Amino acid sequence: MRANEDHPQDNLNKTYYRDQINKVANAVKEIIGALKKHNQREGTVQKEVTKAKFDKPRILKTKIIIVSVITLALIVLGYFLVPTLSKPKEQLEKSIAVLPFKSLSDDPAQQYLSDGTMDAILLHLQKFNDLRVLSRTSVEQYRGTKKTTYTIGQELGVAYLLEGSFQKSGDNVRLIVQLIKANKKEDHAWANEYDRTWKDIFSVQSEVAQTIAKELHAIITPEEKQLINKIPTTNLTAYDFYQQGREEHTKYWIDNSNKAALQKAEGLYHKALKYDSTFAKAYSGLAWIYWDKHGKEKEYFSESFLDTLSILTKIALSFDNQLSEAYTLRGYYFSDIGKPQQAIEEFDKAIKLNPNDWMAYRGKGEFYSNADFVNWINYLQKAASINRGQALPILIGEIGWAYEQAGFPEKAKQFYQDKLKLDGDSLSYYGYLSGEEFWLGNFNKSIEYGEKGYKIDSTDALVNLLLGFDHLWLRHNVESLKFLKKWSEKLKAQGEFDWDNIQYIAFVYWQNGYNKEAEYYFSEQIKHCNMMIELKRIWAQKLYTYYDLAGIYAFKGERDKALKNLRIFNQIQRIPLWMSMLIKTDPLFNSIRNEPEFQQIAKDIEAKYQAEHERVRKWLEEQGTLNGN
């Protein structure tokens, strides 16, 4: 009970449990005291009466009083404890997953209509702040499943499931939905059948969502009701093309290798706009297509990076300024171009409009990875509570990484193991473990895990990078060069680049006597750092570019430039484990490591890391999760 002692706001009566327990104890004490006095008074009278005559009534009275005391204690304790104990249950009962709807049509090509209706109802439900609604990708795994609703509910961690079927015949539509409580009895909480015309499809979707919310006793605000009653387009042909495009886009989100689905989705969104040039969701869909195609390409260093995305989301919001998915995408856009404040504002707008937007929570989490480790972990965990689909292992891995960088390696390993159980990706698992041991300074242990990953895929870029780093830190220059060259070649083959590790391949080239190659890579890294600073990209906003520049200048013997950049880097407020370890061991700083100013900066960095570690530890203690997931 003492865990909640300082949080009276957690119970309905806004009182401290300690005070209530003391009141109960005092009440019991008073009754017992009265009982003793009563017995003493009776004893005085009974001196002139035979003992056997009064024993049984007195015992009976004593029992009654004792039972009364216990009852009173239970009533008072229950009055204050039951509201709090029932709170988690209430939260669980307001959670729901919408399973893929069945198509009642014999034509498989009509499946997108069922999926589109299901998707629309799901998106409406997600707008209710009082509900936890899982993402579309969370439920795709149950398409055509033979699992019971109880099993599905247990796997997804929700109390309710919505099943449905849909058919469109000419201008007529039939929608059958049933809300099922995901308990062992699989109780049907509510069901209905809607026979309407196609032009009424939007009102039906809104009606179903509001009815379900009421069945789950969710609070519906006027703003939320207004949001789900909004008609996205008056042109049903445009809506039909949009539904088809959304379905193809979802196929890509489920399988990122399905480039054909992405291309098809783009064409269908354009068709939708031909029939309604003001259709905000179609513009937002095209913006997401652009992000999926170009978000991580080399044009990152161009001044017009993602300008098309910005334009498309602006157009979408000009036609519908309550479109949450557009704000989410703008959050990622501002984050990538190094405008953190605008990024957070956009993510917050998205979450206000859609409290179940896992992408917005993830985006906020990524932003806080440099600013606030408690929020970093917290928002990633919120994202993982909503998306229980293909992205869940990725999110769990990211949560593990956040715990690792906050200085909790054992908790991190728990998440890495959970990720492995979900996706069976041993290569990724060994990569995480190898990286963790490296940042803890256990280079030989890191090599053990790296070699296990190398046996699975000797061409994997991350595995080769980690092994290259391990050998570099152990001064195994020949081995290090072998792995870092493979890492560099793999990135080039994939059309990718790495803007924060190039100086290390330069260093190891130099150590092996390849001075010309070393100069080339050092120059490339300096160029990339200066471009990021000029363009205010995220790596520069985090001040990490100044650390990279300082390392190069220190190696080159340009002491003043090295220290100047380190001073700027030292302005950073939150330090992760990797940066704490790096500045203490980075071979690029060997020439100035013993200088007083460098040593002071290193101490500052370590102190900032320890302060953030302690802050996260206290938060975990308050949550009661310090020793568990």
| Residue boundaries of the structural domains of the chain | 2-90, 94-231, 499-629
**Mean pLDDT, 10 residues at a time, over the chain (629 residues)?**
41 43 47 45 38 41 47 40 39 86 92 95 96 94 93 95 95 96 88 96 96 95 95 96 94 86 96 98 96 72 86 97 97 89 96 96 92 96 94 96 97 97 96 98 98 97 96 97 94 76 96 97 95 89 94 97 98 95 97 97 98 97 84
C-alpha distances (whole Å) from 502 to each of 239, 291, 466 are 48, 26, 14
509-536 b/e with 16+ CB inside 10 Å = b? bbbeeeeebbeebbebbbebbebbbeee
pLDDT at 31: 43
What pLDDT score does 155 carry? Answer: 94
| Host H or E run for residue 188 | strand 188-197
Q: Is 424 left (phi over 0), alpha (psi -120 to 50) or beta?
A: left
- The pLDDT, as a whole number, for residue 50 is 34
| Pick from 401, 370, 372, 371: nearest CA to 384 | 401
Which position has the token pair 């004490």? 29
CA-CA distance, 147 to 194, in Å (whole number)? Answer: 27
pLDDT of the residue at 14: 40
* CA–centroid distance for 138 within its chain: 14
Third-level CATH fold of 94-231 = Rossmann fold (3.40.50)
Q: In the numeric block, which tokens belong to residue 43?
A: 């004893």
pLDDT of residue 72: 41
